[in-house]
Amino acid sequence: MLKKCVYCRQDLQDKRAVDICDKCGIGVWGQKMFKTILQGMNNADEKGDLCLEHEIIDNQDKRV
Ligand SMILES: [Zn+2]
């Protein structure tokens, strides 16, 4: 089943962990950040472990 971009409802041709097309992803996060997010998601998928979640929890734990 084809996924659709959550922002513009465009069909996503490739299998990716985030339901956001390149155009919207870059619009939201910027090209560099979006690439990093995609890479992180793909790596996490391969390992069967969502590393990104751990990173977010780590960041929240830092008391400013
Ligand atoms: Zn889109």
Concatenating the DSSP letter of every residue in the chain gives --EE-TTT-PEE-S--SSS--HHHHHHHH-HHHHHHHHHHHHHHHHHTS-HHHHHHHHHHH---
List pLDDT tens digits, range 22-45.
999 999 999 999 999 888 877 776
Task: Evaluate if residue 55 carries a pLDDT over 60.
Answer: no
Task: Evaluate if residue 50 carries a pLDDT over 60.
Answer: no
Residue 37 and residue 30 in contact, taking contact as beta carbons nearer than 8 Å: no
pLDDT given at position 22: 93
pLDDT given at position 40: 86
pLDDT given at position 48: 61
Domain boundaries of the chain, sorted by first residue: 22-64
Query: With pLDDT > 90 as the criterion, what percentage of the chain qualifies?
Result: 39
- 28 Cα to the center of ligand 1, angstroms: 10
- 59 Cα to the center of ligand 1, angstroms: 28
**Six-digit token string for 55:** 């990173």
- 62 Cα to the center of ligand 1, angstroms: 33
